[in-house]
Each structure stands twice: as structure tokens, then as C-alpha cells.
């Protein structure tokens, strides 16, 4: 099925903050995915370049080193090819990717085993995580202002350096030519993100990400949308996660997305992008504190919103008050069932 690229708004974060807040809220409600640009010192282009260099060093470490840091039930550590299945109901094979998850850093130290290959770089990973954390707080604050609930969202995050499911994830999808896959296989299964917001960093020229549009068709998401070709680095892609959708009773869209092979029947490539090489991406999954209650945000716009279905923005939970930690565990068990079964 041929389809045009996803129509995702580009928001200049350096504009008047009241207007930026309104733009973010409207984009979260209409699209669920948002490009942000002109970040100034929030996350400099050089910091993104360094993070990708660190990613290649980390994921290029010897397999034995990575295996010694295998993922645990705290969602931290290394996952090998096919270890995670993001769409277990429809995937016959687990995701065609490997990843390394960092939890929160304390005093520039990871609170988990890390490969010796990157031991001297620990503070640099921490510094990038800190930049992501600060940007997330800024966006959460603006979203709260846009809904006229002040710090409702931001105050539920980062109260302490531990006690949340926040993850900095480095991903590598091997070249399609190096994997044995069929036309039905997916590099990363269709899913919505588990947390509040996600920051996604991608490299120019690397294809694969698609979002599910309201009409049920898939659309590719360009790394470099029109108008940003001359920016020092591609705009950061923000997407709304399940928890912001849950908090807003589905007003904010937690949009389903996936990563595909070029042979997928519904995949349409973006000009200048290719899936022939290894694909790298970095995701910062921002989560509230585990004990944060997912009660409806006290916003007039949310109260006046009529969701479609039971809970339109979050089909994974009935309309009841969960904690953020309970919601995260529920979702992780779906993706890593065997891992969690072994620990129970």
C-alpha cells in the first residue's frame, strides 16, 4: 500500500512559550507525534553526535561483555536480537534489533552493570541523559501550561534520582542483508510507548519508522522533514506515551508506531533514506515516579473531551486509577513474558 509521509507538525521550541505550549497541546491531541527544533542549549547538535558515537561503541562491544549485562526485570541492560517482541499478538518472530537500556544515573554512575568497553565513558552517557531529562521536564511543563494545569505533569517526574521507569535506550537494527527474514517480519513490532513522553533521536538517511494514521494506514516518518534540511541535526521527534494519554482520558494520542524492513508490503521509502545499512536510534523514555497516580488531569479541555471507545488513547488498561509503576510492569510483561515468568 502506497501512502504519503506522515503529516507531523514541526514546533519551534524557541518561540513565545505561551504559544509553544498551545502548539504542543494541539499537536499532542491531533497527532501524538511532534517534531521540535531550535533547541538552543537544551540539547546541542554536538551532544547528539557524541551520543551516537557512544551508541556505536556500546553496541559494538564484545557479545560476552553485553551478555554479562543482560536485561533484568528492572528493564535495565542489554537485549539481544529477537529478545523483545513489541507486538506479541501479531509477530511470529521477536524484533530484529538489539538494545541497551540505562536506568537513572546517580552522581554520573549507572546503577547497573555496564560493558567494560564503555567504562571510561560513563559520565558522558550520564551527561546526555541529564540533557534529555531537562528537556522532558521543559516539555511536560509546557504541556501542563497549555492545559492550564500548571505543573501537574512535571511535578510527577524526577522527584528523586531513583524510583521511576525512565530509560535511556540505545538501539541498533542490523542491515537487512545480514538477517534471515520474510516479507511479513517487522524490525520493531507495532506498539505505543509505555511512559509519558519519548524523545527519539535518529540519523539522517536511515529509513524505517512508520506511524499508524487515524484512517488505519501506515505512513513513514522522515528523519528530516521539509524545512529542516539545513538544521545542524535532525529535529528531535517527540511522541506521547500511554501515561499522558491515560492522564488525559485519551485527549493526548499515544500513537502506534513500528520499524519496518524495506521489503514490507506497506512500506514506502522517503526520498534520501535507505534501509540497506545498520539503523541506529536513541530513545529517552520519560516516566513519572512509580507511585504517581494516573488520575484524570483537572483540565477543562480534558473534562469536555469525549473519547472514542473505552479509553481511546490507552487500550491496555480499563478506566481505573493505576500507579505509573503498575502500568509499566503490565506492559513489560507483554514484551518480555519469559523474563518475568522466570522471576515469579
pLDDT single digits (tens) 46-99: 999 999 999 999 999 999 999 999 999 999 999 998 888 888 888 888 888 999
Q: Is the pLDDT of residue 25 over 50?
A: yes
Which comes out higher in pLDDT, residue 56 or 7?
Answer: 56
DSSP 316: T
Q: What's the predicted TM-score (pTM) here?
A: 0.92
- Identify the three-state secondary structure at position 140: helix
Phi-psi region of 324 (alpha: psi -120 to 50; beta: other; left: phi over 0): alpha
Give the integer Cα–Cα distance in Å for 81 and 305: 41
Residue whose C-alpha is closest to residue 242's, from 289, 294, 292: 294
Lowest-confidence range among 97-106, 214-223, 262-271? 262-271
CATH of domain 10-339: 2.60.120.330
CA gap 51, 41 in Å, rounded: 15
Question: 209 pairs with which residues across the strands?
Answer: 259
Predicted confidence band of residue 265 (pLDDT cuts 50, 70, 90): very low
For residue 123, with 0-12 CB atoms within 10 Å meaning exposed, 13-18 middle and 19 or more buried, which class applies? exposed
Amino acid at each position: 500500500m502506497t501512502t504519503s509521509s506522515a503529516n507531523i507538525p514541526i514546533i519551534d521550541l524557541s518561540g513565545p512559550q505561551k504559544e509553544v505550549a498551545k502548539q504542543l497541546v494541539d499537536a499532542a491531541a491531533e497527532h501524538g507525534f511532534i517534531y521540535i527544533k531550535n533547541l538552543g542549549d537544551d540539547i546541542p547538535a554536538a551532544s547528539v553526535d557524541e551520543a551516537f558515537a557512544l551508541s556505536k561503541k556500546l553496541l559494538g562491544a564484545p557479545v560476552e561483555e553485553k551478555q554479562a549485562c543482560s536485561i533484568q526485570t528492572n528493564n535495565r541492560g542489554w537485549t539481544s536480537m529477537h529478545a523483545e517482541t513489541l507486538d506479541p499478538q501479531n509477530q511470529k518472530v521477536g524484533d530484529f534489533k538489539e538494545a541497551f537500556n540505562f536506568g537513572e544515573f546517580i552522581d554520573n554512575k549507572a546503577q547497573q552493570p555496564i560493558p567494560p568497553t564503555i567504562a571510561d565513558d560513563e559520565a558522558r552517557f550520564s551527561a546526555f541523559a541529564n540533557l534529555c531529562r531537562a528537556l522532558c521536564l521543559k516539555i511536560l511543563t509546557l504541556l501542563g501550561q497549555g492545559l492550564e494545569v500548571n505543573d501537574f505533569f512535571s511535578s510527577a517526574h524526577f522527584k528523586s534520582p531513583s524510583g521511576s521507569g525512565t530509560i535511556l535506550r540505545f538501539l541498533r537494527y542490523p542491515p537487512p542483508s545480514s538477517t534471515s527474514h520474510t516479507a511479513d517480519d517487522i524490525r520493531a513490532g507495532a506498539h505505543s510507548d509505555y511512559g509519558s513522553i519519548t524523545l527519539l533521536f535518529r540519523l539522517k538517511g536511515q529509513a524505517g519508522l512508520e506511524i499508524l494514521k487515524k484512517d488505519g494506514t501506515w505512513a513513514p516518518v522522515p528523519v528530516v522533514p521539509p524545512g529542516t534540511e539545513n538544521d545542524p541535526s535532525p529535529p528531535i521527534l517527540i511522541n506521547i506515551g500511554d501515561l499522558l494519554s491515560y492522564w488525559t482520558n485519551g485527549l493526548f494520542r499515544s500513537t502506534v508506531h513500528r520499524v519496518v524492513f524495506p521489503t514490507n508490503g506497506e512500506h514506502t521509502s522517503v526520498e534520501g533514506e535507505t534501509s540497506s545499512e545498520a539503523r541506529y536510534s536513541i530513545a529517552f523514555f520519560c516516566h513519572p515516579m512509580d507511585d504517581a497516580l494516573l488520575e484524570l488531569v483537572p483540565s477543562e479541555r480534558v473534562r469536555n473531551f469525549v473519547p472514542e471507545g473505552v479509553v481511546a488513547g490507552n487500550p491496555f488498561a480499563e478506566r481505573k486509577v493505576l500507579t505509573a509503576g503498575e502500568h509499566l510492569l503490565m506492559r513489560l510483561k507483554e514484551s518480555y513474558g519469559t523474563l518475568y515468568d522466570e522471576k515469579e
